[in-house]
Amino acid sequence: MPDNFDAEAARKIIMSDERINVTENNPIKELFKICVNLALIIGSFYLIIFMLSGIILFNLPAKNQVQLENFFSKLIETKVVKISDADQKRLLTVRNNILNADKNFPKTSNLDIFIMDDTKTNAFCYPNGNIYITSALYKELTTDEELTFIIAHEMGHYKHKDHLRNMRDSITGSIVLIGTVFVDPSNQGLTKMTASTIDISNLKFSRVAEEKADKYAIKMLNILYGSSKAGVEVMTKLKEKNRSNIEFLSTHPNIDRRINYIKKLSY
């Protein structure tokens, strides 16, 4: 063995930096390729479920739709504050004004309006069409025009079936995320990444829905009062009030952008 050992051959291989045991590839390119493939697969899965649930939800017969709406509204029902008769009359008058101005409003709900106790200024439209305004917000709405803007905005959400859109988004998101849990059960990295991406895309869609509701409210203001200055006023007032109110800013789109959008529509 000492005589026929060829050291030179071994030296040549070391000098040539040959690494047969490691596949030469660029890890960044590989990561990119895998991510693109994953995005395509998960994206198409999401699209299929999205369209299926959309078709089912938006084409429910009216009776089932009302049942679904009442069911979900029961889940998130909250305590309301007793208000004076004068306030009650004011709220109902504003609502009836809007219903008279818009003959095409879907008649599948009572459209009751309630005031709920909360220190944060906010307004919600429940799936069954009932509108809830927080006591903090109601205090700020001094004129009838400002109240009309808020109530018309929420009624716009109901008219555009935004509650159905939200349901479709949550169902699709949950199914896709559960799917990713099964694909990668040991290390939840894939699920976390998909969840972040779904969040980002949902934010964009909710912004579009908010702008449509604002547009509807401006239209109502123009029909009932001739001008929509109240819309800009109430948003500016809320912006000042909500310097520190993070929750309002997180569920509604960027308030400056909204003010600019409303200004563009009004003038």
Distance CA 47, CA 70 (A): 28
Say how many C-beta atoms besides its own lie within 10 A of residue 222's C-beta: 15
Binding mask 186-205 for other proteins (x = CB under 8 A): xx-xx-xx--xx-xx-----
28 binds other proteins (CB under 8 A): yes
Residue at 259: amino acid letter: I
182 binds other proteins (CB under 8 A): no
Using CB under 8 A, count the residues that bind other proteins: 34
Cβ closest to other proteins, residue 24 vs residue 240: 24
89 binds other proteins (CB under 8 A): no
249 binds other proteins (CB under 8 A): no
Shortest Å, Cβ 245 to other proteins? 20
Cβ closest to other proteins, residue 175 vs residue 193: 193
27 binds other proteins (CB under 8 A): yes
Q: In the 8-state DSSP scheme, what is residue 205?
A: H
22 binds other proteins (CB under 8 A): yes
Q: Please, are residues 231 and 262 in contact by the beta-carbon 8 Å criterion?
A: yes
34 binds other proteins (CB under 8 A): yes
Cβ closest to other proteins, residue 42 vs residue 133: 42
208 binds other proteins (CB under 8 A): no
Within 13 Å of residue 5, how many CA atoms lie on the same side as its CB?
5
Cβ closest to other proteins, residue 35 vs residue 55: 35
Q: Please, are residues 214 and 153 in contact by the beta-carbon 8 Å criterion?
A: yes
Give start and end residues of each alpha helix (H) in the chain: 7-15, 27-58, 62-75, 85-101, 135-140, 144-159, 162-183, 189-225, 229-241, 246-251, 255-266
3-state secondary structure of 184: coil
- Phi/psi of residue 132, nearest 5 degrees: -120, 125
3-state secondary structure of 83: coil
Shortest Å, Cβ 118 to other proteins? 27
3-state secondary structure of 64: helix
Binding mask 141-170 for other proteins (x = CB under 8 A): ------------------------------
**Interface residues with other proteins (CB under 8 A)?**
1-2, 5, 7, 10-11, 14-15, 17, 19, 21-23, 25, 27-28, 30-31, 34-35, 37-38, 183-184, 186-187, 189-190, 192-193, 196-197, 199-200
